Amino acid sequence: MMTSTETSTDMIRFYNVTKRYPGGQTALDDVSFHVERGEFVFLTGSSGAGKTTLLKVIFRQESPSQGQILVNGRNVSSIPRKKVPFLRRSIGVVFQDFRLIHRKTVFENVTFVPKVLGVHLKDRRRIAYAALRRVGLAHRINAFPPELSGGEQQRVAIARAVINRPELLIADEPTGNLDPELSREILRLFLDINRQGTTILLATHDKDIIQRLGGRLLTLDSGRLASDQTLPPGELARHETPASPSFVTEDGNEYEDENSPDGEAYSFE
Ligand SMILES: Nc1ncnc2c1ncn2[C@@H]1O[C@H](COP(=O)(O)OP(=O)(O)OP(=O)(O)O)[C@@H](O)[C@H]1O
Ligand SMILES: [Mg+2]
């Protein structure tokens, strides 16, 4: 079914995936597509079309009724239940409603999984600062989520999602609760993360954002993949890789990304 060449360039591959929920809803209907490493792909479709379900089967929040899914060369359905946390740790996930723990600080939120995994406090602080610098929020490391704006909360959620430098980042309507200005800021962040090499699959209703960025667009219609198209190039195409990656924070300071590939890599596995 697969050759080794396929595994090396594929990040996601769906083979005839169908998902029927108990009760009879067919949320995904014979969906096949693939996403290559480093791609930035939009997923759209009207409410109930199956976007969230498609994302959930990728990190095995749900299992398909039929078909196969490969993520980074691994057959997601055949991963033993015990190993599912390892799959999830290799995928960053961002939701519309941020899902931060309100009574924990930004630091505690972004380092929640590393702490569970026994990463020492000193290392947790280092990776938290690196991730928060990426989203321009290092100065709010001790704040609690309710003290932050919606856009800031989403940036914290993105920092949490990228803290383990996942190869794949999945986002479900990440700008759905934000006004257009903030949405553009958040999108710029996703572009930066993609530019650093992370593959991104982003579900959105927002036609304006899709048009503005351009690139590849998957459209679901009642669970079927209605189209897989490449839009005229927008900001995504113009987004050039700078010689030395750096991130500009809110106060206008520019920081080198000390966590860049030649720095100390951090991995849980
Ligand atoms: N847990 C569930 N049990 C039963 N049916 C479900 C469940 N989750 C989703 N569905 C149904 O599956 C279909 C696809 O839902 P899904 O949430 O994937 O759509 P969506 O494209 O993300 O919609 P939205 O844009 O509103 O978020 C819908 O008909 C929905 O009612
Ligand atoms: Mg949804």
Tell me how far the alpha carbon of residue 151 lies from the centroid of ligand 2, in angstroms. Answer: 20
Band (233; pLDDT cuts 50, 70, 90): confident
In this structure, what token pair is assigned to residue 123? 């290392």
Tell me how far the alpha carbon of residue 144 lies from the centroid of ligand 2, in angstroms. Answer: 27
What pLDDT sits at residue 8? 67
Cα 191 to Cα 143, 152, 185, 202, 254, distances in angstroms: 26, 17, 10, 11, 17
Tell me how far the alpha carbon of residue 267 lies from the centroid of ligand 2, in angstroms. Answer: 30
Q: Alpha-carbon distance 130 to 257, whole Å?
A: 7
Band (89; pLDDT cuts 50, 70, 90): confident
What pLDDT sits at residue 269? 32
Which stretch of 4-18, 128-142, 150-164, 200-214 has the lowest confidence by average pLDDT?
4-18
Q: Alpha-carbon distance 133 to 256, whole Å?
A: 9
Which stretch of 139-143, 152-156, 177-181 has the lowest confidence by average pLDDT?
177-181
Question: Which atom of ligand 1 lies at the shortest distance from residue 46's CA?
Answer: 25
What pLDDT sits at residue 240? 54
Measuring from each residue's beta carbon to the nearest atom of ligand 1, which residues come in under 6 Å?
21, 23, 25, 27, 45, 47-53
Q: Over the stretch 235-267, which tens digit does the pLDDT of each residue have?
A: 766 665 443 334 444 344 433 343 333 333 333
Tell me how far the alpha carbon of residue 53 lies from the centroid of ligand 1, in angstroms. Answer: 6
What pLDDT sits at residue 122? 97
Residue from 51, 96, 219, 224 to probe ligand 1 pocket by mutation (most atoms less than 8 Å from CB): 51
Look at residue 129 and tell me whether its pLDDT is greater than 60: yes
- The ligand that comes nearest to the alpha carbon of residue 45 is 1
What pLDDT sits at residue 232? 85
Which stretch of 32-46, 162-176, 231-245 has the lowest confidence by average pLDDT?
231-245
What pLDDT sits at residue 24? 83
Q: Alpha-carbon distance 60 to 268, whole Å?
A: 19
What pLDDT sits at residue 235? 76
Question: Which atom of ligand 1 lies at the shortest distance from residue 50's CA?
Answer: 18
Read off the pLDDT of each residue in 51-73 and give the average, rounded to a whole number: 96
| 62 within 8 A of 56, measured Cβ to Cβ | yes
In this structure, what token pair is assigned to residue 36? 């290559």
Residue 172: strand pairing partners: 95, 203
Q: Alpha-carbon distance 248 to 258, whole Å?
A: 13
| Share of residues in the chain with pLDDT > 90 (%) | 71
Ion ligand 2: residues, CB within 5 A, are 51-52
